[in-house]
Amino acid sequence: MTSALRVTEIGEFGLIHRLTASLFHNAATAPIGVGDDAAVLEYNEGEQMVATTDALVEGVHFLCATTSFFDLGYKSVAVSMSDVAAMGAVPRHVLITLCIPNDAIVEDLEQLYRGIDAICRKYDAVVVGGDVARADQLVINVTVLGAVKRGRALLRSGARSGDLVFVTGALGGSAAGLHLLEHDGSVVVMPDERQRLLTMHLLPQPQVQAGQLLAASQLCTSCNDVSDGLASELTEICEASKCSIVVDRERIPIDSHVRNYAARCKCDPVEWALFGGEDYQLVGSVDRMGAGRLDAQMQASGIPFHWIGHVDAPTADGPAVWLSERGARRKLTAHGYNHFRVQGDSGLQSNENRSDQASRDGWRC
């Protein structure tokens, strides 16, 4: 047995070399990648590029005790790729900043990069640069650049009254996986159910193909990715589009494993869908006249696609998201994870109790 290699034993440059030596690369789109001051990237004429950046912070977004480094690397890129997908763009290039404690173990960081490499290979994206710095806690910042056909980017601002509201897959699964991590041992779960719930939380998939189809269709009037929960994402669309949205509670898609698990631990899976976040499905609006056509396109491509509500004119007090259930409506307010929560801020105007909020605040996106 050899003892674990510490970062201090190989130095910053040794670390970078080890982390990047076997990365996927693509000389056609990145003639100059890792190894110079900056990356030189090819973008065809007729395209626009998109760029987004997101950080995951140890103790805030994740705990090393409940995620593997591979999964953490995968997810750190998935989070930013999901933003690119929500624009209808194709992810192309990735830049990684790692802030790491002095006692970090090289093998852990290599595993992290294997996760980064895995998702990059899956979506044909190339890591083209990065930075490594010392810090007290692990921070992974990911910038993703992508391309979309000129004028086709999916924005939040185009939803119009009468449009139908869609989501590309089941929601609430990430929150269920988080609940399981937080209550492990206290709830009975089957091994396959456990695996499925944890995968939904730890290894989310950016909806890149769905985003591209939505952009190509020219029928999608608004789009957002579910990072903070359905209520928060729809609120962003309502504010950008100056509209209201009515969601039919019964139509929100919930995975059967999530529904079963929620029943056993006496939780409401719809609350997870509305406020849990990190499902990284796409949600948005579509011109009602083209909805059938788009539905058929999605079916043909094997992409789950669910109609969950419609767009309305804003109410007297402005844009709002309403949850409709058996004829009654409840107003929702954005209530995703907030890094600096204002005291007394509640996601539900009806003041539902969220007893798990305190523990979540410690380490959620």
Measuring CA to CA, how many Å separate 87 from each of 49, 284, 311, 341?
10, 11, 20, 27
Q: Tell me the two tokens of residue 19.
A: 């982390």
DSSP state of 136: S
The 3 state secondary structure assigned to 327-360 is CEEEEECCCCCCCCCCCCCCCECCCCCCCCHHHH
Residue at 210: amino acid letter: A
Using the Cα atoms of residue 231, residue 236, residue 238 and residue 239 in order, give the sign of their dihedral. Answer: positive
Is the Cβ–Cβ distance between 253 and 183 less than 8 Å? no
CB of 212 to its own copies, least distance (A): 14
Please state the closest distance from residue 50 (CB atom) to its own copies, in A: 4
Q: Crossing angle of helices 173-182/191-202, nearest 10°? A: 110
Residue 329 CB, shortest distance to its own copies, in Å, is 25
Q: Which is nearer to its own copies, 32 or 291 (CB)?
A: 32
Report the nearest approach of its own copies to the CB of residue 12 (Å): 5
Quote the least distance from Cβ 141 to its own copies, whole Å.
4
φ, ψ dihedrals at 257, nearest 5° = -65, -40
Residue whose C-alpha is closest to residue 153's, from 87, 90, 219: 87
**Residue 248 in tokens:** 């039919």
Residue 280 Cβ, how far from its own copies at the closest point, in Å?
A: 11
Beta carbon nearer to its own copies, 328 or 342: 342
Q: Which is nearer to its own copies, 226 or 247 (by Cβ)? A: 226
Q: Closest separation between CB of residue 325 and its own copies, Å? A: 27
Pairing status of strand 90-100 against strand 139-149:
antiparallel
CA 177 to chain centre: 15
